Amino acid sequence: MINHEVRTYKSSENLAREDQLAWKIAEVASDPTPVDSDVTEMVINRIIDNAAVAAASVRRSAPTHAREQAQTHAFNPGANIFGLPVSDRFSPEWAAWANGVAVRELDFHDTFLAAEYSHPGDNIPAVLAVAQHKGIGGKDLINGIATGYEIQVDLVKGMCLHEHKIDHVAHLGPSAAAGIGALLHLPTEVTFQAVQQALHVTTATRQSRKGEISSWKAHAPAFAGKMAVESVDRAMRGEGAPNPIYEGEDGFIAWILSGPEARYTIPLPGKGEAKRAILDTYTKEHSAEYQAQALIDLARKLGGQIEDLSKIKRIVIHTSHHTHYVIGTGANDPQKMDPQASRETLDH
């Protein structure tokens, strides 16, 4: 892995595109290094995992409404939508939207936690929809998904968003665009523009995961996947994007993250290096925030041993900073303690 230092540059410094983070991401996407066999196996596992959690959620309100929206965009060759006949095909960006909501709805698919938080399985619906639309085979699909995982995990390792109350899907837009670029064997220049465009249009506040959480929590990553498909489509037509999106004087780091004096270190595979980041990610046993998994296990184990729950005066849990501030009382969200709160709130 190569550690890339990223900072803000004044426009007068004229940062070469080859030195920009978006270009380096695009270079990873265009590197033809074969996917390792254990990574291939894990990609297949995650496709199955996504399908399973989508099957569990497909009749719920949010996936149903996303599916209804997508059904107005029939297209040939197009892509399939989970829960509809395989003979029905739809525009790939709308298939990515509907399938992305189904995958994310129950907060039941994979996770990676580092400087930032993420659910890298969110890359799969967008990459898969484009593969179906283009009739692309499994080998290239696996490469595209492995690339999406690689980029999102690497961004999550090096660049914290939540400290600035920015939603983690700001890393998903660029990673999905890179995954699609790898799938399609696009030139570095095209993927470079798509990555920048995707970041520009998928940066949003973290209110989607704060207070009374709504169904937008499931729609947010699906929207990022949809925007990634559209960003690649636009770049393939020769259009450019805001540049340099990360390092610009009015760009992502300068005004959304820690400011023009900040430095970030992003690890990325070097040329010829395999993309293995998916092996750092992990799945869930329960339909809830990852940090709650052990607590759910503990509650299920202890529940039968307590004869009268009304005798419990209080429960004190010693845990990590992340758990306390995201799903615990440190979030200062009284809604989390309300049994009548929305399902999206209670799983967080």
- pLDDT value, residue 348: 60
Is the pLDDT at 345 greater than 80? The verdict is: no
Confirm whether 120 is domain-assigned.
yes
CATH number for position 222 = 1.10.4100.10
| Distant-in-sequence, close-in-space partners of 78: CB < 8 Å, separation ≥ 6 | 89, 90, 91, 92, 95, 132, 133
**Pick from 228, 262, 280: which residue ends a domain?**
280
User: 296 and 248 in one domain?
Assistant: no
User: 332 and 239 in one domain?
Assistant: no
| Distant-in-sequence, close-in-space partners of 87: CB < 8 Å, separation ≥ 6 | none
**Pick from 255, 280, 305: which residue ends a domain?**
280
β-sheet bridge partners, residue 117? 113
Percent of the chain with pLDDT over 90: 77
- pLDDT value, residue 343: 63
User: 251 and 128 in one domain?
Assistant: yes
Alpha-carbon span 333 to 327, nearest angstrom: 9
Q: Mean pLDDT over residues 250-263, rounded?
A: 97
Alpha-carbon span 38 to 251, nearest angstrom: 38
The average confidence (pLDDT) of the chain is: 94
Q: Closest Cα partner for 8 from 303, 342, 250?
A: 250
Q: Mean pLDDT over residues 250-275, rounded?
A: 98
Is the pLDDT at 208 greater than 70? The verdict is: yes
Confirm whether 45 is domain-assigned.
yes
- Residue type for position 228: A
Q: What are phi and psi of 205, to 5 degrees?
A: -75, 165
- pLDDT value, residue 305: 85
| 218-230 per-position pLDDT tens digit | 899 999 999 999 9
Confirm whether 87 is domain-assigned.
yes
User: 101 and 40 in one domain?
Assistant: yes
User: 137 and 21 in one domain?
Assistant: yes
Is the pLDDT at 278 greater than 90? The verdict is: yes
User: 271 and 306 in one domain?
Assistant: no
| 159-187 per-position pLDDT tens digit | 999 999 999 999 999 999 999 999 999 99
Confirm whether 285 is domain-assigned.
no
Give the angle subtended at the CA of 83 by the CAs of 77 and 88, to the nearest 5°: 25
Confirm whether 181 is domain-assigned.
yes
The dihedral through the CA atoms of 54, 57, 63, 65 has a sign that is positive
Confirm whether 98 is domain-assigned.
yes
> Domain range for residue 317?
290-346
User: 337 and 257 in one domain?
Assistant: no
Q: How many domains does the chain have?
A: 2
- pLDDT value, residue 61: 96
User: 238 and 109 in one domain?
Assistant: yes
User: 316 and 264 in one domain?
Assistant: no
Is the pLDDT at 56 greater than 70? The verdict is: yes
- pLDDT value, residue 346: 64
Most confident of 122-126, 316-320, 326-330: 122-126
User: 246 and 123 in one domain?
Assistant: yes
DSSP string of 104-125, one letter each residue: HTTT-S-BEESSSEE-GGGHHH
User: 150 and 236 in one domain?
Assistant: yes
| 81-126 per-position pLDDT tens digit | 999 999 999 999 999 999 999 999 999 999 999 999 999 999 999 9
Confirm whether 241 is domain-assigned.
yes
**Pick from 252, 280, 308: which residue ends a domain?**
280
- pLDDT value, residue 300: 85
Q: What are phi and psi of 182, to 5 degrees?
A: -65, -40
Beta carbons of 108 and 147 less than 8 angstroms apart: no
Worst-scoring range by mean pLDDT, 33-42, 144-153, 308-317?
308-317
User: 61 and 28 in one domain?
Assistant: yes
Q: How confident is the model at residue 32 (pLDDT cuts 50, 70, 90)?
A: very high
Worst-scoring range by mean pLDDT, 11-15, 149-153, 282-286?
282-286
The dihedral through the CA atoms of 13, 17, 22, 23 has a sign that is negative
Q: Closest Cα partner for 194 from 79, 26, 7, 6?
A: 26
| 181-193 per-position pLDDT tens digit | 999 999 999 999 9
Q: Mean pLDDT over residues 294-303, rounded?
A: 83
Give the C-alpha distances (Å, rounded to integers) separating 271 from 157, 180, 268, 274.
Answer: 20, 19, 10, 9
Q: Residue 2, SS3?
A: strand
Q: Mean pLDDT over residues 3-9, rounded?
A: 98
